[in-house]
Amino acid sequence: MTSADRPVSAVLNDIVVNVQDIVRSEVRLAKTELTEEMRKARSAGIMVGVGALLLTFGALFALLALVYALSLVVAAWAAALIVAAGVGVIAALCLGAGIKRFKVTPVVPKTAASLKENAEWARQLTKS
């Protein structure tokens, strides 16, 4: 039986089966990509977390030393207030700059590109 002899229902059935296979493949690709990215992010996240914790402790001790140094010049409560105000201003500036730079990146770029290719392929297939 040649392709010209095939009934329309058989051709449509083949198209549906092919589309289902493509969708399943895309889901598997997305799962695989996410798993790979999560593995990379987990180890990097642990290192960043430990570093941030140690940096926080270091900054706290440096601020405490600054309060003690200022308390030699002004009252202890005023020294603590001056340091707190300085830290608050720096924190506000950093948060403002960070929020401006924050951007969302696609999690699964390969899957998105593949979906676009498949959509274009399906459009080309239905045009002929």
DSSP readout, the chain? --GGGS-HHHHHHHHHHHHHHHHHHHHHHHHHHHHHHHHHHHHHHHHHHHHHHHHHHHHHHHHHHHHHHHTTTS-HHHHHHHHHHHHHHHHHHHHHHHHHH-----S-HHHHHHHHHHHHHHHHHHH-
Give 106's contacts (C-beta < 8 A, 6+ positions apart): 112
- pLDDT (0 to 100) of residue 106: 56
CA neighbor of 118 nearest in space, from 26, 3, 8: 26
Domain count, the chain: 1
pLDDT tens track for 59-89: 999 999 999 999 999 999 999 999 999 999 9
Domain region containing 61: 3-127
- Residue 94's pLDDT band (boundaries 50, 70, 90)? very high
- pLDDT (0 to 100) of residue 2: 61
List own/partner pairs for 110-114 with CB under 8 A and 24 or more apart: 110/29, 110/33, 111/26, 111/29, 111/30, 111/33, 114/26, 114/29
- pLDDT (0 to 100) of residue 49: 92
pLDDT at position 20 over 70: yes
Mean pLDDT of the chain: 86
